[in-house]
Amino acid sequence: MDEIYLRHDATGLAALIAAGEVTAGEMLDAALARVEALNPALNAVVHLRDDVAHDAIRAGLPEGPFRGVPFLLKDLGAEAVDFPTSNGSKLTAGQRWSHDSEIFLRMRAAGLVTFGRTASPEFGIGGVTEAQVYGGPTRNPWNTGHTSGGSSGGAGAAVASGIVPVAHGSDGGGSVRIPASSCGLVGFKATRARMPDGPMSGEGWAGMSIDGFLSRSLRDTAALLDATQGPDLGAPYWPPPLRGTYLGAMQAPPGRLRIRFSTRTLGGGAIHPECVQAVENAARLLDGLGHEVAEFSPPPGLAVEAMMHAWTRIVACGTALNVREILAGAALDPALVEGVTRGAIAYAQTLSGADYLAAVGEIHAFGRRMARVFLDCDVLLSPTLAEPPAKVGRLKPDNEDFVAYRTGKGGMFEYSPFTAIFNASGQPAVSLPLHWSASGLPVGVHLAMAFGEDERLMSLAAQIETAAPWAARQQRLVEAGGVISP
């Protein structure tokens, strides 16, 4: 049974369950056995609720496209009555919910069998997952000496190692795409507001945060987006409606696209040679597929650095508000939060309401500047990260200088200079597992398109997956045990 479980993506497992060749209970047992075997090395799965999962199977699962497939929620957001949350923090360890979020209801209606949550950094801050509430860092299955990324780092590790074929994530500055790159997976960030946020909030981080998924196959991501996309009741805004479906887009040719690639950051900084190679290989592939491919020249006045400082102010204010609401007037015990969280709170205290609104205004202005970029091209190609996955501990969230942690030398934006750009602009973007370093670490390739062009981006990603399939490389890790130690 384990061999069957590990040989298929979520779509394949759902087909086997629908045909009666395996049962949902057998697949859940296989996933739980995988947790028992691999989680001690990875520290990826938290808040295990196998009792809830077995009860759901016995009660009868919805007839959705993923009926019976084992699934994990990120330990941040996706509020669900049966799944407590720590939000990556000792401050909220074991928090319970009185309601189910709309995104969870849609995932449940798709037939997914949720049995736990995956590790996240505290309140989703950072591109690594090393929260003290879980007793240690979450590690990369391709090399446990390296990070699995963040903030959906537990999800990335769980999917790459074969614990589950697909898992929930969320992305406010690259938090789906960073672990996708780090763990050799697909990570698709939809256009702003494509996914529901309610009922807990109308938007996350001034509209920059959005839910998504980590998967090994593009079709799993497409089908899950189809099952969950669309505004929820009372949403303050929503994007242009899809013309069809994500799965349908996979079957449609993208047409000849104007692709511009960058082997430097959009601010002109150098990136790791492995990342340069990943982009150059992808550019040659796309040229061979008939697209118009040329190097990208950032327009004058794009001002990526100004956007990153605005992003930092917004996230600091959001984090401070979150902690204040949790405390409800009580004093904060500094030992219950990470240094970066303490730094975010301290930085937020130096900002006024006018400062916050100015930061939101800068984010919106940047989105308009990025929209103009896509008047002269269809696709912007870059690496997802500026280097292969960092070693565990290098970006540990203990720096109380929040601005330095984000924008300083050796900080998070230097490590991940591409992903937050498209949270700020709201444009769709995807990380695809097209390259591995000489030492065997995944290096994701990042593609972005204009606001609302999710379907065309999915069409291009499908064309790439067909021309340069990655499943065999992923499968070798899964079948070799799911974890490589240094």
Alpha carbon dihedral 36, 39, 40, 43, in 10-degree steps, equals -150
- CA 333 to chain centroid, in Å, comes to 30
Domain ranges, ordered by start, for the chain: 2-479
Closest CA to 156 of 385, 342, 336, 312: 385
Find the catalytic residue in 86, 89, 148, 151. 151
Question: What is residue 1's predicted lDDT score, i.e. its pLDDT?
Answer: 86
Four-residue CA torsion sign, 188, 181, 420, 323: positive
Closest CA to 120 of 170, 83, 166, 164: 170
Q: Rounded to an integer, what distance in angstroms lies between the CA atom of residue 184 and that of residue 207?
A: 27
CA angle (283, 286, 287) in 5-degree steps: 85
Q: Is 175 a catalytic residue?
A: yes
Q: Is 396 a catalytic residue?
A: no
Q: Rounded to an integer, what distance in angstroms lies between the CA atom of residue 399 and that of residue 196?
A: 33
Q: Which CATH class for the 2-479 domain?
A: alpha beta
Q: Rounded to an integer, what distance in angstroms lies between the CA atom of residue 451 and that of residue 371?
A: 7
- 113 within 8 A of 56, measured Cβ to Cβ: yes
Question: What is residue 445's predicted lDDT score, i.e. its pLDDT?
Answer: 98
Q: Rounded to an integer, what distance in angstroms lies between the CA atom of residue 328 and that of residue 312?
A: 24
Q: Are strands 70-74 and 45-46 parallel, antiparallel or unpaired?
A: unpaired
Q: Is 151 a catalytic residue?
A: yes
Closest CA to 412 of 195, 71, 69, 174: 174
- CA 424 to chain centroid, in Å, comes to 15
SS3 of residue 113 by DSSP = strand
Amino acid occupying residue 87: N
Token pair for residue 30? 């296989």
- What Cα–Cα distance (Å) separates residue 167 from each residue in 5, 17, 42, 143, 211? 15, 19, 15, 20, 11
Question: What is residue 2's predicted lDDT score, i.e. its pLDDT?
Answer: 87
State the CB neighbour count (10 A cutoff) for residue 409. Answer: 6
Category of 66 on φ-ψ map: left (φ > 0), alpha (ψ -120 to 50) or beta = alpha
- What Cα–Cα distance (Å) separates residue 357 from each residue in 166, 353, 421, 424? 37, 6, 19, 14
Give one DSSP letter per residue of 287-306, joined into a string. Answer: HHTT-EEEE--PPTT--HHH
Q: How buried is residue 101: exposed, middle or buried, by Cβ count under 10 Å (0-12/13-18/19+)? A: buried
Token pair for residue 441? 């670490």
Name every residue whose Cβ is closer than 8 Å to that of residue 8 and which is 6 or more positions away in sequence.
16, 165
* Tokens 């398109």 belong to residue: 449
Closest CA to 118 of 141, 86, 95: 86
State the CB neighbour count (10 A cutoff) for residue 182. Answer: 34
Q: How buried is residue 248: exposed, middle or buried, by Cβ count under 10 Å (0-12/13-18/19+)? A: middle
Radius of gyration of the chain measured on its C-alpha atoms = 21
Tens of pLDDT along the chain (486 residues)? 889 999 999 999 999 999 999 999 999 999 999 999 999 999 999 999 999 999 999 999 999 999 999 999 999 999 999 999 999 999 999 999 999 999 999 999 999 999 999 999 999 999 999 999 999 999 999 999 999 999 999 999 999 999 999 999 999 999 999 999 999 999 999 999 999 999 988 899 999 999 999 999 999 999 999 999 999 999 999 999 999 999 999 999 999 999 999 999 999 999 999 999 999 999 999 999 999 999 999 999 999 999 999 999 999 999 999 999 999 999 999 999 999 999 999 999 999 999 999 999 999 999 999 999 999 999 999 999 999 999 999 999 999 999 999 999 999 999 999 999 999 999 999 999 999 999 999 999 999 999 999 999 999 999 999 999 999 999 999 999 999 998
Find the catalytic residue in 74, 148, 170, 396. 74
Q: Rounded to an integer, what distance in angstroms lies between the CA atom of residue 155 and that of residue 170?
A: 10
Q: What is the DSSP letter of 92?
A: G
The strand pairing partners of 187, in sequence order, are 214, 431
Closest CA to 71 of 110, 40, 116: 116
Token pair for residue 334? 């500094």
